[in-house]
Structure 1
Amino acid sequence: MIPEFGTFSLILALCLSIALAVVPLVGASSGNAQLMGYARPLTAGVFALLTFSFGCLFYAFWTDDFSVQYVANHSNTALPLEFKLSAVWGGHEGSLLLWLWILACWTFAVSIFSKEMPQEILARVLAVMGIIIIGFGLFVLLTSSPFTRYLPNFPADGADLNPLLQDPGLIFHPPMLYMGYVGFSVAFAFAIAALLSGKLDAAWARWSRPWTNVAWVFLTLGIALGSWWAYYELGWGGWWFWDPVENASFMPWLIGTALVHSLAVTEKRGVFKNWTLLLAIFAFSLSLLGTFLVRSGVLTSVHAFATDPTRGMFVLVLLAITVGGSLLLYALKAPSVKSDSNFTLVSRESFLLVNNIILTVVCITVLLGTLYPLIVDALGMGKLSVGPPYFNAFFVPFMSLLTLFIGVGTLSRWKRNGGQMWRTLGVIALLCVLAGIATPFVYAGAMDWWGALGGGLMAWVLFISFRDVMNKVANKTDKLAAVFKLSRAFWGMVLAHIGVGITIVGITMVTIYNDERDLRMAIGDTMTLGDYSLTFTDVRKIEGPNFISDQGVFEVTLDGRPYTTLAPEKRFYTTTRQIMTEAAIDPGLFRDLYVALGEELEDGAWAVRFQFKPFVRWIWLGAIFMSIGGLLAAMDKRYSRKRMGAAKASS
């Protein structure tokens, strides 16, 4: 009966979401406070029902209820409990229920933490969120129910979870990614609510900004987790492949980054209102597009675990309604939206606008590279693929230019600038050129222009950030104390920009100085890579809960002295009959040693890949810095309830 309870809860949640979409919106339009007051309890009801439904699905996995088709297709009695948890969202139906539940979580969070928001604005925001819940609720109930039964007969055991998903990283990666995807629905709802009310002022941006920052943080962490998982799980040693599904999450991140900056300008200066509205609409629209690409079956990818072309059409229709409806509303309301202040060409506003344009252009470039092969295939013009050379040709120069403008924008002032800024930037630029040229010589003893570019860009971000801190406390008597009194939003910006610099160095160094060997090795053989030697000493049979494994044992020496032992595996999953590679990694702050066991060859030999990957962890370290910065900005004191209430009273 538990699965039936789950379905019934979904139906009730859909009914309440219809009420949530209609009643508060009617109340806001008519000025009826009683109708608007229903928004919060309706939101709580939707959240409770979807939480119960999601719990029912987890219970079905926990108890190995193979009468449920989704459980039978994605679990097994031998599957460890932690992977039964990830199996809940390891397929199409469960991942959509997770999407819907997270949407309810965001909606409930807005209703709880926005008590000081004007009732009319909150009613419209929650109503828009309710409309989105209706769309995905219908999607789950009509096309993708995870509670469908095998009746009257059902299998005695399940088909097991895709071995690619049987990894701790995949327990956290999809929820993090979905928290980011769905989180942009809040910014979208605020934008639509503002268009409906016609009130696009600084207060609107102030309400929306912390929610957008938190969504951006989750998406950043989700993308970083996906990159980290691909690095150690797929056995190739790569951290980014310009895979279409990777691009599907990267595009809303690019637009979301532009949105975070545009909201800051709208809040502080009352400009970029139209630009901010469009970015909020497109950030969520790209999130829906990513869901369509991953769940529609139009893409082939190691990341596209759940595909169904017929159900993908539902997401495409939902995407068309969302984009078309919101753009139509924007077209009707945008002419009445006016900026409150002016600024000169040489000002922080201008430089932030350039940053946003660059981010948008990069996003369009990635979008074209992702969709063009699909369009060509749909038109019957053959099949083609767009690979890394295309993306890198655009991405590297544009992102380098973006980094330069990050620095200029950071030191510039609102409205206008004087000559002092350019003199300061000139000195910093000279120091960065010297630091960039020194980087490849210090690391490798020889000049490399790409290495110099990466080192120079990181130095640019670091020097600019340091100078910005010094400017903030220049007129203070106790400068050290003043540093600690700077706002969380300011430190969030500093940490996020430093994170960008750290990631740039990681990408640059691992791309240029990565070294690898692919060899045939038998027991007793040794290979050398730089100062490290790898000796193949043994192959052991390992039996796991649902797999058997050949585990290679490799003794690593550094400069002739014993250093560590690495044990990569080649796993055979007995139920799915699939073979997976489990790389062995010796991690370090400045380098990773990476060993992957390939196919077994004749005479007991094996194909072995040994890689030296400098600074690779700086890629994900930079993402952590960015995420901490985003959280600090969202936790700034001016977004507290007390200050929000004061802002409400003043408006």
Structure 2
Amino acid sequence: MIPELGHFSLILALVMAALLGGVPLYGSFHGQSRLVALAKPAALAMWAYTFTAYACLTYAFVTDDFSVRYVVETSSAQLPLFYKVTGVWGAHEGSLLLWVMALASWSVAVSVFGGGVPTQVLARVLSVMGLIGAGFLLFILLTSNPFERVPMQPEGRDLNPLLQDFGLAVHPPMLYMGYVGFSVAFAFAIAAMLGGRLDAAWVRWARPWTNVAWVFLTMGIAGGSWWAYYELGWGGWWFWDPVENASLMPWLLGTALLHSLAVSEKRGLFKAWTVLLAIGAFSFSLLGTFLVRSGVLTSVHAFASDPGRGVFILLFLATVVGSSLLLFGIRAPRLATTGSFSLLSRETGLFANNLILLVMAFAVLLGTLFPLLSDALALGKISVGPPYFNTVMTPLMAALAVAMGAGLALRWRQDQARRLARVLGLPLAVALLTAVLAPWAFGAGLPGLAVLGLAMAGWIAFGSIAWAVRLRKAPWRWSGANWGALLGHLGLAVTLTGVTLVSVYSQAADVRLEPGQSHTLAGYAFTLQGVEQTQGDNYQAYRGTMQVTRGQDRIAVLHPEKRVYNVESMPTTEAGIDPGLFRDLFVALGEPLGEQGGWSVRIQYKPFVRWLWLGGLLMALGGAAGALDKRYRRLRQTGDVVPPSAALAQGA
């Protein structure tokens, strides 16, 4: 009965989404305030019915209802309760329901906290989000019904062992909130074009929502990287995996959108560019959904392999993008820019920043889709891997670092080269000195990649700090937006430092060890003390004990595991990690070798690897600071719109 209630709730959610997408929109064009007023209750009803469906599916998992196909394919009676709850989004059908749940939550948030937005504009925004929700709810009901019944089974097939980890509770919800969050900026852009009001107002309304979506996506990507690092057993973080690329592309466009929104709000410039980026960021989010769920990509992250599902999402993507660009083409004449700026100005720096981010996004898109195009055109099967991405992205990242290091120090409208050289001369010298001297600390000379990476990171960091120091005499300028810019730039510098040092100076060894034997790596002695069998909730494991010493000092005792899950009989590796701010010691247990108790062991020394995720955290904090800027709180309270000239006077 509960699955039928969930299925019926999805149908009602579709009805509410269709009403939200049509009725308030019609009322906003015909001046019928009663129809416009239906937007908020319809958004709340869509959320309530979607939540009911989600709760019903969760109940089916918790109670081991193996008459539901999705529960049979994704759970088991032996699965711990925590993973039964998080396993709801562990495969295709449930993850789509989580996607719609995120969209409905964003819609309610906009309706509740959008008090400064005119009623008609808010109704159009919610209508656009309702139409998106209707499309995905229709997709779920027609192709991916999570409540489909089957004859009662005695046991389920279990959740993928790689997903039986705390990371499943964090990574997908964060990622989806970021993906779906860009629908808010998209909806504001469409609402502005529908109403013909393409001034700075819609930009100001959309900017904090875009910040929050970007924060979620940043945390989702960083969390997925961290999860892959410690869970997969090989110490990597899945850069350039095709499905991870699907989340990187909207992040790059979302980052460009954040910068373009700043220019449009403060100077009234880049209007057309900002609208296109709002469309593009959400379109790439939909493209990521298509890539993950169509079966066209092969990855451990891919959920589905049903071509019918892929065709539906592709048609939906074409409809959204096509109609948005058609509307943009109609409204483009109203997007003329009247302001001006010199070649040496912050506007130029931000435009260069956006252009480089756009090229990076399309470079990733080309590398991700080219193997598919080659196969479709019968040109043969090819693989595009890290060599392509590293070769293309390194010079683009260097150009982006140059723009970012100088960007905050540039003045709006016009700047002077002499002043800029005076401001940035010391940061440039310190960055170059750091890039040359720091590698000597590792005793490995001056690898070109290390010097380049540290120079880029130092230029971004020290250039941003120099800008912040110049604001010390004007504390009123320390707005949330300025804190956000500083933390965001410093976060990228920290991440670049981590990527550079861990890529150049990591050390690894695959060795055979018997109990009592040791292997020395990077000055640390790893001694295998023994391996014992242990029993988990739903798995059996071999648990190693590895003592790590340095000279006479005992550093850590690590316990890597080799697990075999009872239902799927799939072996997985749980690494033993001694974390640190400046290095990680990483041990993964392989297979037993010989009859003397020998084991294959992978040992790694990973310098500064935690800086990857520390930088992501700093960037997310920066995005949150920007979203919490007091100007947006005043906007919600009063509904006033600060003109570009006044916004410019308030600082960066």
Name the TM tier (shorter chain): over 0.9
Q: For the residues of structure 2 that align with 1:78 and 1:576, how far apart are their CA atoms?
A: 11
Residue 618 (structure 2) aligns with: 625
Q: How does 1:453-602 map to 2 (within 5 A)?
A: 453-474=452-473, 476=474, 482=475, 486-602=478-594
2:640 is paired with a residue of what secondary structure?
A: helix
Aligned with residue 314 of structure 2, among 307, 316, 326: 316
Aligned with residue 412 of structure 1, among 397, 400, 410: 410
Q: How does 1:144-163 map to 2 (within 5 A)?
A: 144-150=144-150, 153-163=151-161
Q: For the residues of structure 2 that align with 1:303 and 1:525, how far apart are their CA atoms?
A: 37
Letter in 2 for 1:162: N
Residue 361 (structure 2) aligns with: 363
How far has the Cα of 1:473 moved from its partner? 3.0
Residue 104 (structure 2) aligns with: 104
Q: Structure 2 unaligned runs (5+)?
A: 645-652
Letter in 1 for 2:452: L
How far has the Cα of 1:157 moved from its partner? 1.4
How far has the Cα of 1:442 moved from its partner? 3.0
Letter in 1 for 2:638: G
Aligned with residue 211 of structure 2, among 208, 213, 226: 213
Distance 1:13 1:643, change over 3 A: closer
Letter in 1 for 2:353: N
How far has the Cα of 1:445 moved from its partner? 5.8
Q: For the residues of structure 2 that align with 1:101 and 1:530, how far apart are their CA atoms?
A: 48
Q: How many residues align?
A: 642
Q: For the residues of structure 2 that align with 1:305 and 1:585, how far apart are their CA atoms?
A: 29
1:640 is paired with a residue of what secondary structure?
A: helix
How far has the Cα of 1:58 moved from its partner? 0.5
1:535 is paired with a residue of what secondary structure?
A: strand
Q: How does 1:287-436 map to 2 (within 5 A)?
A: 287-418=285-416, 419-436=418-435
Q: For the residues of structure 2 that align with 1:332 and 1:87, how far apart are their CA atoms?
A: 45
How far has the Cα of 1:395 moved from its partner? 0.9
Q: Any idea what the Cα deviations from partners look like across 1:436-460, whole Å, max 9, x if unmatched?
A: 1111123436222222222222222
2:470 is paired with a residue of what secondary structure?
A: helix
Aligned with residue 638 of structure 1, among 610, 613, 631: 631
Q: For the residues of structure 2 that align with 1:188 and 1:28, how far apart are their CA atoms?
A: 18
How far has the Cα of 1:371 moved from its partner? 0.2
Alignment identity in percent? 54
1:647 is paired with a residue of what secondary structure?
A: coil
Q: For the residues of structure 2 that align with 1:256 and 1:649, how far apart are their CA atoms?
A: 24
For the Cα contact (< 8 Å) 1:637–1:643, is it kept in 2?
no
Distance 1:472 1:340, change over 3 A: farther
2:584 is paired with a residue of what secondary structure?
A: strand
For the Cα contact (< 8 Å) 2:513–2:599, is it kept in 1?
yes
TM-score, with length taken from structure 2 = 0.96
Q: Any idea what the Cα deviations from partners look like across 1:223-260, whole Å, max 9, x if unmatched?
A: 00111111111111112331100100000000000001
TM-score, with length taken from structure 1 = 0.96
1:607 is paired with a residue of what secondary structure?
A: strand
Q: For the residues of structure 1 that align with 2:551 and 2:323, how far apart are their CA atoms?
A: 65
For the Cα contact (< 8 Å) 2:115–2:636, is it kept in 1?
no
For the Cα contact (< 8 Å) 1:435–1:456, is it kept in 2?
yes
- 1:16 and 2:8 aligned: no
Residue 6 (structure 1) aligns with: 6
For the Cα contact (< 8 Å) 1:638–1:644, is it kept in 2?
no
After alignment, is 295-304 or 444-453 more displaced? 444-453
Letter in 1 for 2:528: F
How far has the Cα of 1:86 moved from its partner? 1.6
How far has the Cα of 1:650 moved from its partner? 8.6
How far has the Cα of 1:641 moved from its partner? 4.6
Q: How does 1:177-326 map to 2 (within 5 A)?
A: 177-326=175-324
Structure 1 segments of 4 or more deviating over 4 A?
641-644, 648-651
Letter in 1 for 2:202: W
Distance 1:622 1:649, change over 3 A: closer
Residue 54 (structure 1) aligns with: 54
Q: For the residues of structure 1 that align with 2:20 and 2:634, how far apart are their CA atoms?
A: 24
Letter in 1 for 2:362: I
Residue 68 (structure 1) aligns with: 68
Q: CA RMSD in A?
A: 1.5
Q: For the residues of structure 1 that align with 2:557 and 2:642, how far apart are their CA atoms?
A: 65
Q: For the residues of structure 1 that align with 2:559 and 2:430, how far apart are their CA atoms?
A: 45
Q: For the residues of structure 1 that align with 2:390 and 2:528, how far apart are their CA atoms?
A: 37
Distance 1:58 1:641, change over 3 A: farther
For the Cα contact (< 8 Å) 2:513–2:598, is it kept in 1?
yes
Distance 1:464 1:520, change over 3 A: same
How far has the Cα of 1:197 moved from its partner? 1.0
Q: Any idea what the Cα deviations from partners look like across 1:293-351, whole Å, max 9, x if unmatched?
A: 11111111111144322212111111111111111111111122112411111110011
Distance 1:553 1:36, change over 3 A: same
Residue 479 (structure 1) aligns with: none
Q: For the residues of structure 2 that align with 1:282 and 1:8, how far apart are their CA atoms?
A: 34
Distance 1:650 1:269, change over 3 A: closer
Q: For the residues of structure 2 that align with 1:563 and 1:425, how far apart are their CA atoms?
A: 42
Q: For the residues of structure 2 that align with 1:503 and 1:238, how far apart are their CA atoms?
A: 15
For the Cα contact (< 8 Å) 2:210–2:258, is it kept in 1?
yes
Q: For the residues of structure 2 that align with 1:489 and 1:217, how far apart are their CA atoms?
A: 14
1:326 is paired with a residue of what secondary structure?
A: helix
1:336 is paired with a residue of what secondary structure?
A: helix
Q: For the residues of structure 1 that align with 2:263 and 2:441, how far apart are their CA atoms?
A: 40
Q: Structure 1 unaligned runs (5+)?
A: 477-481
Residue 649 (structure 2) aligns with: none
Aligned with residue 607 of structure 2, among 599, 603, 614: 614
